[in-house]
Amino acid sequence: MDGIVLLIEDEEEIAELLRLVFEKEGFRLLHADSGEKGLDILTQRAPRAVLLDLGLPGMDGTEVCRRIRAKSNVPIIMLTARDDEVDTVVGLEIGADDYVTKPFSPREVVARVKAVLRRAEQVPAPPAAITVADFEIDSGRRQVRTPSGDIVEPTAREFDLLWHLAHNRGIVLSRSQLLEAVWGYDYFGESRTVDVHVRQLRKKLEGIPIETVWGVGYKLGGRAR
């Protein structure tokens, strides 16, 4: 793989570390040490992916992420300093595609970038809909019609998770199976990513029959139509 990756990060050491690994993999890493500079580079150079530090001086990472999303669908991977910032990134729904918690291995970051690029390049599946317990899950529009007729648009990742569960309705899927299928890489440890997304889906789609199977994972139950 090749192409330009934009890194928005104020810590020079991290930038140097990532630059080495990305260039070894054939990417060109452009570094901006503030959100403002990053946004400038984004418009001039059209990178294939953005690595975005959450804790930036001046305009913080969440605001930078929102501004990028307002004008571009470029894959964004957030770099978060602390574990508890992960919930912030996911919970705020600022439109990031993935996140990595510091300290990270540069190779892991490269793997994440490759994974989002692979996903971005996949040809979209033909539109289809699955109805479960009167929730109509529409993969063409990537939205859900609730039993009361409301239209809900989950985030991209939430929708992918729901779609995968719906596709395997009645089957218990482990957290690692879900991570593999929806996030697309081998994932160690942070299975709560799935939990956080399930929680969001339950909140947005009240009554959606996503069942927790203790010690295993999740399944989508309910009557099919």
Give the whole-angstrom CA distance, residue 198 versus residue 210.
Answer: 8
Q: How many CA atoms lie within 13 A of 12 on its CB side?
A: 0
Count of residues interacting with Ca ion (CB under 5 A): 3
Phi/psi at 174 (5° precision): -75, 160
| Tokens linked to 175 | 């957290």
Q: Strand 3-8 to strand 27-32: parallel, antiparallel, or no bridges (unpaired)?
A: parallel
Separation between Cα atoms, residue 100 and residue 50, nearest integer Å: 13
The answer to the question of residue 85 lying near Ca ion (CB under 5 A) is: no
Q: Which is nearer to Ca ion, 10 or 108 (CB)?
A: 10
- Residue 55 found at the interface with Ca ion (CB under 5 A): yes
Contact by Cβ (8 Å): 151, 145: yes
10 is a site residue for Ca ion (CB under 5 A): yes
Query: Reduced to 3 states, what is the DSSP secondary structure of residue 180?
Result: helix
Alpha-helical segments (H) within 101-155: 106-121
Closer of 102 and 164 to Ca ion (Cβ): 102
Nearer to Ca ion, 8 or 110 (CB): 8
Q: Which is nearer to Ca ion, 23 or 60 (CB)?
A: 60
Between 89 and 210, name the residue whose CB sits nearer to Ca ion.
89
Cα separation, 104 vs 144, whole angstroms? 36
Stretch that binds Ca ion, among 5-13, 16-24, 34-42, 113-121 (CB under 5 A): 5-13
How many angstroms separate the CA atoms of 132 and 82, rounded?
37
**Smallest distance, Ca ion to C-beta of residue 60, A:** 9
- Taking CB under 5 A as the criterion, the residue among 27, 42, 49, 53 binding Ca ion is 53
* Shortest spacing between CB 10 and Ca ion, in angstroms: 5
Check binding of 34 to Ca ion (CB under 5 A): no
- Closest CB 14 distance from Ca ion, rounded Å: 8
Among 48-56, 87-95, 154-162, 170-178, the segment contacting Ca ion (CB under 5 A): 48-56
Q: Note the residues at the interface with Ca ion (CB under 5 A).
A: 10, 53, 55
